[in-house]
Amino acid sequence: MNFLAARVIPIENNAPVPIIQVSEALAKKLKLPEHISLCTVQCSRNTTTCNIVTINIEENVLRMDRSIQKSLLLFDDERSYLITYNIESNTLHIGPVIALLTEIGMKDEECIDLKSIEEYCMELANYSEDIGVIFYVFTLHNQYKERHIEGYYLENNSWNKALLPYPQVVHNRLHKRTNEKSEMFREFTNQLQEWEIPYFNDHFLNKWTVHEQLVHADHLTPYLPETALFSAKRLESWLDIHSTLFLKPINGSQGKQIFKVCKTQDGYTLDYSSLQQQVSQNYGSITDLYKRLSPEIKKRQYILQQGVDLLHLDGRPVDFRYLCHRSGENRWQVTSSTARASKSGSFVSNLAQGGEMLSVQHVLRTKFDTKELPQIRKLLKELALEVANEIGAGSDGIFGELGIDLAIDTSGHPWIIEVNTKPSKNLDQPVNPRSIRPSAKAAIIYCLYLIHEHLKER
């Protein structure tokens, strides 16, 4: 069952039974039966029955009664849609429907605020329109019923509110874990599962869960820093083994609430990251150090992680973010990669903490011989894909996008630092305002794969 792009043109018709006129070229490509006269036309969960006739036009054109457009909740103007025909059910499927779930604020009474993913969502919408897909954004607070959702579609660079067809796949970009744990989210995803509507990325993964998955993959263990859940006893014993440790909240993001502990001749040095500044304090004993950490440890669960002597650029530690997506063949691929250097005096490279985005090639070229570069880049890419495969195969639910954080130590050995299920959209910005970043195209293509597989099974 293949999708074909066709121009859908609204027409006025006062006949008792609505009509669709299909160009001969399109009818042939869709493999419509020669003597077909009546069929079901469907957009997501909305269906209607209509007469169907062929017309002598060479292009892929479909003329449709406005009454059909209205009942299917299609846009009321002329535009392209992807179309497919199921001969077994005699059904013409129009316009795959993709929706992105996120938190939506308001800039003013009429203008919505999508915050850090606004440009990304606009690119998703523009690419969808280019290829004939219906795309919109919505939030858990929007009313959703069996055949439609109140969402926002893009038109002339502005988001417009409307009742839209129920999505055939949902891209989960909720930023807050509390929203994913809410009763409203549970009810909504239960409904999606009941109707067999796929959604990705299924849920946040915490740092400990990710480590537990990866550490059982023997081929990846050489690249994993020693990691364990925090305890006071383990903190003391590990500092006898590792001169540097990191304490990371298992549900943390953007490099916040991370502690760096170093053992020195005089005791211990504690550095920690905040949005405002990097703070450094000295402690003479493990007891004093733990007293300082204790209030934070009681608030949230932490992991202990072996410190790695990372490559530095101008005195700043550097890591690498590899953005991976499932393809239209359901295989993981790297869609973009970037290096990140922390701001001066900081140990956290996240852009939210003042980190700087750099070219992977530029960073590696300053540290390695030219002959080594192809092999190092190949190893980093293969490592990112192996991590994506392990997480994708071993996690509950569907994951179609992952941000893999890697690093290289001063001896040239690569390390797996972290996996992000809702990776930042500030790291793969388009080259110019009119272009569409690879990750936006990849997300839509994967959505089409999921829809295609779902339609095949029905």
Which residues lie closer than 8 Å to 112 by C-beta, 6 or more apart? 104, 105, 106, 152, 159
Domain ranges within the chain, ordered by starting residue: 4-95, 97-200
Give CA–CA dist 338/343, Å, rounded. 16
Split at pLDDT 50, 70, 90, the class of 274 is: low
CA distances from 308 to 240, 410, 412 (A): 15, 9, 12
Q: Given a cut of 70, is residue 2 above it in pLDDT?
A: yes
Which among 446, 290, 449, 319 has a CA at the least distance from the CA of 380?
A: 319
Looking at residues 289-293, what average pLDDT do you find? 92
Report the pLDDT value the prediction gives residue 273, as an integer from 0 to 100. 67
Calculate the average pLDDT of the chain: 91
Give CA–CA dist 24/37, Å, rounded. 14
- 246: amino acid identity, one letter: F
Which residues lie closer than 8 Å to 444 by C-beta, 6 or more apart? 98, 124, 127, 128, 131, 133, 135
Report the pLDDT value the prediction gives residue 262, as an integer from 0 to 100. 93
How much of the chain, in percent, has pLDDT values that exceed 90?
76
201: preceding bond cis by omega (within 30 degrees): yes
CA distances from 263 to 240, 283, 445 (A): 8, 10, 49
Split at pLDDT 50, 70, 90, the class of 435 is: confident
How many CB atoms lie under 10 A from the CB of residue 130?
A: 13
Looking at residues 419-431, what average pLDDT do you find? 77
How many CB atoms lie under 10 A from the CB of residue 186?
A: 11
Q: Summarize pLDDT for 141-198 with one digit per residue, the tens.
A: 866 667 799 999 999 999 999 999 999 999 999 999 999 999 999 999 999 999 999 9
Report the pLDDT value the prediction gives residue 256, as an integer from 0 to 100. 74
Looking at residues 88-108, what average pLDDT do you find? 93
Q: Summarize pLDDT for 322-344 with one digit per residue, the tens.
A: 999 999 999 999 999 999 988 77
- What stretches of 123-221 adopt beta strand conformation (E)? 134-138, 148-155, 158-165, 169-172, 199-200
Is domain 4-95 classified as CATH 2.40.40.20?
yes
Which among 17, 5, 176 has a CA at the least distance from the CA of 81?
A: 5
Q: Summarize pLDDT for 198-254 with one digit per residue, the tens.
A: 999 989 999 999 999 999 999 999 999 999 999 999 999 999 999 999 999 998 776
Report the pLDDT value the prediction gives residue 297, as an integer from 0 to 100. 87
Q: Whole-prediction pTM value?
A: 0.92
What are the percentages of helix, strand and coil residues in the chain, rounded to 5? 30, 35, 35
CATH code for the part of the protein at 97-200 = 3.40.50
